[in-house]
Amino acid sequence: RYLSLLAGFPMCQVDEDYHDELERAGAPSVSKQCVKCKEATAAVVIRVGDTFCRGCFKEYFIHKFRAMLGKNRIIFPGEKVLLAVSGGPSSCSMLSQVQEGLSQNAHKKLRFSPGIVFIDEGGAVGQSAEERRRTAAELEAVFKATGFPFHIVPLEKVLDLPSKVLMAAPSPSEQPAGAYKTAVGHFLQSSSSSSSCVTQQEEKESSLPDVQESSTPLLQRLMASVETLTAREDLLSTLRQHLLVHTARSEGYSKLMLGDSCTRLAVKLLSSISLGRGAQLAQDTGFSDSRFGDVTLVRPMRDYSAKEIAFYNRLFSVPSVSIPSLDTKAPEKASIQRLTESFVIKLQADFPSTVSTIYRSVPNLPELNRTFYNPRPCCSVCAYTSFNGVFWVRTCDEQAAVRYRAPETADVRTLLCYSCQLTIKDMVSQSPCTAAGSALLFPKSTQEEKRKHVLVQVCCPLFRELVEK
Amino acid sequence: MAAPVAIHLEFGGGAELLFNGVKEHHVTLPSQSEPWDVKQLLVWIQRNLLKERPELFVQGDSVRPGILVLINDADWELMGELDYRLQDQDNIVFISTLHGG
Ligand SMILES: [Zn+2]
Ligand SMILES: [Zn+2]
């Protein structure tokens, strides 16, 4: 099935010289000398035949980061840029590159003003409060050393977001700027009585996650209501993205930098197809993603392989923190995402240009012309924008483009893209969340929990739909 | 007979989770008739250090694709990979680049 997916992929558009690279890696006749300075002993093999010494590797790595930002000209001088750091090697490497760039002399210097956000997902992956505190403390030490402002936000906060924040806000030019700010203002006011509200945390320049006790079980129930690991990973990444975008907005950042490497993006790209997110590929994996309007996502690490990053971090002592995730130690076939990862990595072992070929095909995929979305209906879970209210979906089984149109009169919040419908169907199949089912799901809910339940409904229209039925 | 070899092993990027979370191991490989190479080291690690789920660390004779190997801070691809003969005081690092490590 995966092979057929690959076969349908626009590899045919790949340049001629890829064909040589695509040939199976033969017995490597690796040069022990650096191909760049032709003097020093090589330390890293980047691609077949490309061997770099330590010094040239460092130069190459740093240059690539600056070139990526320079070429795309998307970040303006003085702009506030929020770096999403998960603690993993790729985002920590991104952080070190930003530090490096800011320390350069005048003409090479990066000129934006960075901040850091870490989403603590411990509540969703089953870490104890103690483990979460330890992880946060470890990251806090890394962040403090940079001197950048930073925000440590527990994932539970996503349950408190006002629904307006979850909607894709039109970009500033399309909309009076007041509307969004008002929504956030209301949110901050209404939650300022709670002891762990975002603003207070940020005044203290982050502090350790301090989560209301009732939120964690609620988050856990939300995660547990999804049956398969595949759908759970999809839900988690959606929730994480909302909270990242929200933090950027409420703190006045107009760019959000994500640390996805090209290996990661190749996996994401192929699993997106399997998950029915094929139509949003260009947004999910491109250099920049403007689906959220006023906050643009940027992926400056998309030219680095996981190998380059791991080597750089090791050779130049970039600290990272390993944090358990949903799929830690999960077997290879536990989810579509895991299966795709091991497929891509195995293919990469035999055909060293697999990853770069997959991800370089992204720019070839059509991105829908943004001028057509006016107004821009979007999926209320993942904020994927549809084309004139129609979600185009290519299913794996039917090999046909399915045209899915939401009812004309539908409230925007009830609009769901095909993929989110699948995730949500998975939730339905496990827990009968009818009005009665919802009572089962939240048996002895307090008033506070009920309030949050309503928010969850907005955040996940699934619940809403189910309760209405 | 080859003499015993004392080496330093390091696991990172999540690979340490398969070794009870312990990242650094100083080990001495016993004396044996053949000189020690990386291929034999992988077998030894499986028998003596690996705590769980060997398939997440080794596949066939080699390491699982996606796990990088550095020998004395150099890519093992430059050192002969499985055939590299271990020297006393070598530093061998395994870094997982797999998401769920
Ligand atoms: Zn060199
Ligand atoms: Zn969606």
Three-state secondary-structure class, residue A149: coil
- Considering the domain boundaries, does residue B77 fall inside one? yes
* pLDDT at residue A432, rounded to an integer: 36
pLDDT for the residue A363 = 53
- Does residue A43 or residue A17 have the better pLDDT? A43
Assign A58 a pLDDT band (cuts: 50, 70, 90): very high
Q: What is the mean pLDDT of chain A?
A: 67
Inter-chain CB proximity A328 and B17 less than 8 Å: yes
Cβ B78–A45 below 8 Å, yes or no?
yes
First to last CA, chain B: 37
Contact A301, A259 (CB under 8 A): yes
pLDDT of residue A202: 39
Give the best residue of A90, A314, A327, A335 to mutate against chain B (max B CB count within 10 A).
A314
Q: What is the pLDDT of residue A270?
A: 75
pTM: 0.72
Q: Which burial class, exposed, middle or buried, applies to A437 when counting CB atoms under 10 A from its CB (0-12, 13-18, 19+)? A: middle
pLDDT, position B44: 94
pLDDT for the residue A253: 95
Nearest to A315 among B16, B73, B99 (CB): B73
Mean of pLDDT values over B41-51: 91
**Residues on chain B touching A309 (C-beta within 8 angstroms):** 97
Q: What is the pLDDT of residues A310-341, one digit of tens each?
A: 999 999 999 988 777 766 656 666 777 777 77
pLDDT at position B85 over 90: yes
Q: Name the closest ligand to CA A53.
A: 1
**Buried/exposed code over A126-143 (b: 16+ C-beta within 10 A; e: otherwise):** ebeeeebbebbebbbebb
- How far is ligand 2, taken at its centre, from the CA of residue A84, in Å? 21
Domain interval for residue B61: 5-96
Residue B18 lies in a domain: yes
CA dihedral A320, A321, A325, A330 (to 10 degrees): 80
Going from the Cα of A111 to the center of ligand 1, the distance in angstroms, rounded, reads 29
Residues with Cβ within 8 Å of residue A425, at least 6 apart in sequence: none
User: Hey, is A184 helix, strand or coil?
Assistant: helix
Selected residue with higher pLDDT from A366 and A13: A366
- Does the residue B78 lie in any domain? yes
Instruction: Supply the pLDDT for residue A329.
Output: 59
Report yes or no on B27 lying in a domain.
Answer: yes
In one letter, which amino acid is A138?
E
Q: What is the ipTM of this complex?
A: 0.92
Give the residue, B75 or A76, on which the prediction is more confident. B75
Number of domains in chain B: 1
| pLDDT of A405 over the 50 cut | no
Contacts of A317 in chain B (CB under 8 A): none
| Domains of chain A, first to last | 74-168+211-366 (3.40.50.620)
Backbone conformation region of residue A388, classed left if phi is above 0, alpha if psi is from -120 to 50, else beta: left
Confidence at residue B84, expressed as pLDDT on a 0 to 100 scale:
94
Proportion of chain A above pLDDT 90, given as a percent: 21
Torsion sign, CA atoms A355, A360, A366, A370: positive
Interface touch B75/A311, C-beta < 8 Å: yes
In a domain, B47, yes or no: yes
Q: Is residue B58 part of a domain?
A: yes
Sequence-ordered list of residues with C-beta below 8 angstroms from that of A188, at least 6 positions apart, any chain: A197, A198, A199, A250
For A88, nearest residue in chain B (alpha carbons): B13
What confidence category does residue A444 fall into, taking pLDDT thresholds of 50, 70 and 90? Answer: very low
Distance from the CA of A446 to the center of ligand 1, in angstroms? 65
- Looking at the domain assignment, is residue B101 inside a domain? no
- Mutate which: B70, B77, B97, vs A, most A CBs within 10 A: B97
CATH classification of the domain holding B81: 3.10.20.30
* Mean pLDDT in residue range A223-249: 82
User: pLDDT at position A278, please?
Assistant: 62
A60: CA distance to ligand 1 center in Å?
10
In this predicted model, which residue has the larger pLDDT, A233 or B35?
B35
Give the nearest partner residue to B75 out of A43, A342, A348, using CB atoms. A43
How much is the average pLDDT of B14-18? 86
Q: Is A228 exposed, middle or buried (0-12, 13-18, 19+ CB in 10 A)?
A: middle
Q: What percent of chain B has pLDDT over 70?
A: 97
Query: How would residue A355 be classed by pLDDT, with cut points 50, 70 and 90?
Result: low
Q: DSSP string covering B35-92, please? A: PPBHHHHHHHHHHHT--S-GGGTEETTEEPTTEEEEETTEEGGGTTGGGPBP-TT-EE
Q: How is A198-262 classified by DSSP, letter by letter?
A: HHHHHHTTS-S----TTHHHHHHHHHHT--SHHHHHHHHHHHHHHHHHHHHHHTT-SEEE----H
Asked if the Cβ–Cβ distance from B77 to A28 is below 8 Å, we say: yes
Q: How many CB atoms lie within 10 A of CB A334?
A: 17
Alpha-carbon gap: A93 to the closest alpha carbon of chain B (Å): 13
Pairwise CB contact (< 8 Å): B75 & A338: no
Which residues does B contribute to its contact with A (CB < 8 Å)? 12-14, 16-18, 52-53, 55-56, 65-66, 68, 70, 73-75, 77-78, 93, 95, 97-101
Q: Would residue B24 count as lying in a domain?
A: yes
Q: Which is nearest to A42 in space by CA: B70, B67, B62? A: B70
How confident is the model over A151-178, as pLDDT tens digits?
Answer: 999 988 887 765 444 444 444 433 344 4
Residues 6+ apart with CB under 8 A from A121: A155, A236, A240, A323, A325
Residues with Cβ within 8 Å of residue A234, at least 6 apart in sequence: A275, A419, A423
Write out chain B residues lying below 8 Å of A331, CB-based. 53, 55-56
